[in-house]
Amino acid sequence: LMATIGELERHAQPTGHVPIERLGTIRFHEVTYQYEYDPQRSDALNGVSLVIEPNTTVGLVGPSGAGKSTLAELLLSLRQPTSGRITIGDIDLVDIQRSDWARLTALVPQDQQLTPTSIADNIDFLRGLDRADIVGAAHRAHVDRDIVAIADGYDHIVGSRSQGLSGGQRQRVAIARSLAGHPQLLGLDEPTSALDATTERFFRRTLDDLRGKMTIVVIAHRPTTIEACDRIIEIRDGT
């Protein structure tokens, strides 16, 4: 564990120094991204320019390998463009103080990773939230009823896949974790598989509830998700 922590600290993301309290208009200016270890040395994203207005829901669609996840990670500042710029209002994203940015944003990856601890701790995720905040977030992610139905409820220890929580419930716990911090920008990578009809319906309801209240960028595979978007951005071959 110490070795891993040391490794992560040696590769700490550079921080900017401009504080930010509210999310403004997001702009990509000719953004290109190339993975360092891509044997083909091709651009994952190539000259992408786009505008995302605050409090809109934007769907990202396109075939597998098109660059959707890469775009989402650049948007969340988990990666920095190889060339081009991303601005938030008038500020360059690389100049924004990382702690502020982390507070303003949340990403629910396609393969959500829960840790082997209680459901409450998974939602809290070391932020020291009180139980009311945790339950509130679970409500908003439409997973509260599922949690109280299992023995131990919020104190249930998350185990291997066969223990207690279905794939869809795990996804909703991951959404609750992201909502618990009240982000202004939410990135969602919609699960492609193992999504039962109930979870698909809940996922749509969550999107409908949040629409207009925060900026949402959702990587969308399903018609029900695409219908919930104000705008659709299609990516093909990184453009």
Q: How far is the CB of 44 from ligand ADP (least distance, A)?
A: 3
Query: Among residues 106 and 235, whose Cβ is nearest to ligand ADP?
Result: 235
| 67 contributes a contact to ligand ADP by CB under 6 A | yes
Enumerate residues 6+ apart whose C-beta is below 8 A from 164: 150, 156, 158
Selected from 56, 69, 77, 122, the binder of Mg ion by CB under 5 A is: 69
From the list 22-30, 64-72, 94-102, 117-125, the region that binds ligand ADP by CB under 6 A is: 64-72
Q: How far is the CB of 116 from ligand ADP (least distance, A)?
A: 26
Q: What whole-number distance in Å separates Cα of residue 190 and Cα of residue 192?
A: 6
Footprint (CB under 6 A) of ligand ADP, residues 41-60: 44
3-state secondary structure of 58: strand
| 116 contributes a contact to ligand ADP by CB under 6 A | no
Token pair of 131 as six digits = 């139980």
Enumerate residues 6+ apart whose C-beta is below 8 A from 31: 45, 47, 48, 49, 74, 81, 83, 84, 85, 86
Distances (CA, A) of 117 to 18, 29, 122, 153, 195: 36, 42, 7, 13, 23
Query: Among residues 64 and 193, whose Cβ is nearest to ligand ADP?
Result: 64
Query: Among residues 68 and 177, whose Cβ is nearest to Mg ion?
Result: 68
Query: Among residues 73 and 124, whose Cβ is nearest to Mg ion?
Result: 73
| 62 contributes a contact to ligand ADP by CB under 6 A | yes
CA-angle at 198, arms to 193 and 204, nearest 5° = 85
Q: Which residues bind ligand ADP (CB under 6 A)?
A: 35, 37-38, 44, 62, 64-70
